[in-house]
A and B are shown apart, each in its own frame.
Chain A
Amino acid sequence: MNQKLKLSDIHPGDSLPSVVKHITQEEINLYAEASGDFNPIHIDETFAAQTPLGGTIAHGMLILAYMSEMMTKAFGESWLSGGKLSVRFKAPAHPKDTITTSGKIDSVEHKEGAPYVNCSLESCNQKGETVITGGAVVKLQPIP
């Protein structure tokens, strides 16, 4: 998996390729099966309806997977073995939500001879509410 962006292509303010996903209960159930996380807040609609969240919610790690998909599309192997992610979960993602994950490049720093790209990231629902916000740092690997 090659790095997609070269250092010369990267400029502060540039947008990352966004990822748009529609959430369904079936996909949440699939993620529960795949990950082994069967917390009832994700899969038990009767239980979840009685909580302050009012219904089932997607696993935070599922939405984070979309964020990582965006970073992989942008930075390839540099993300997979040189990426750092730090996020806060601000609001739940419910079934029938459409989640748009986007990001932009904040700065490029050079430390110990290597370029590091600082990015701000966000996942929002169809109402524009922030579901996840945070940042990422990618140590760019040299491209042969």
Chain B
Amino acid sequence: MSPISFEELAVGYEFPATSYELSQSLIAQYLEAVGGQQYFLTSGVVPPLAIAAYAMTALSQSFSVPPGSIHASQEFEFLKLVPIGSTVSCGGKIVQKVQRGRLHLLVLEINALNQDKEKVLSGKATVAIPT
């Protein structure tokens, strides 16, 4: 499926659910990138920001925005521990799309569920998109 363009995104649009495995190697790579926090590997728990980062990347693959778009604000709620090796499914929808001067602001709701369909993370991201 080709990514939906930014112009086509409308309030209420729901992103297709996407699953991803939070494997040991993926989390090790993430921890190297964020500079440490190796205690997550020994405890066997996924860092909550890793769940969020992969959920946002998974959702962003279903739509395209102009290069140079940046984060304006972010909310997260971490609801349950996620063991390393889990498969998480994420989804989301567009809740707001407004123009402010030379920027568009796109507000997305994000949710991630574990294998038992329990919500492990919810959040809201505001992305500033240059026109």
Contact = CB atoms under 8 A, between A and B. Distances in A.
B78 A86 contact: no
Given A40-B67, A77-B81, A34 B76 contact: no
Nearest to B52: A61
B68 A34 contact: no
Given A37-B57, A66-B34, A85-B75, A1 B49 contact: no
B33 A31 contact: yes
A34 B27 CA distance: 9
Interface of A: 1, 21, 27, 30-31, 33-37, 39-41, 47, 51, 53, 57, 59-62, 64-66, 68-69, 72, 77, 79-89, 92
A86 B78 CA distance: 12
A35 B35 contact: no
A53 B80 CA distance: 37
Given A77-B81, A79-B78, A61 B56 contact: yes
Interface size class of B (residues with CB under 8 A): 35 or more
Given A30-B32, A77-B81, A86-B75, A39 B47 contact: no
Interface stretch (B7-15, B37-45, B85-93): B37-45
Contacts of B37: 69, 72
Tell me whether chain B's interface is mostly helix, strand or loop, or mixed.
mixed
Interface string B107-131: 0000000000000000000000010
A97 to B, nearest CB: 14
B72 A81 contact: no
A81 B34 contact: no
A33 B33 contact: yes
A83 B48 contact: yes
Given A41-B70, A61-B56, A81 B81 contact: yes
A89 B71 contact: yes
Contacts of A79: 48, 78
A92 B71 CA distance: 10
B45 A1 contact: yes
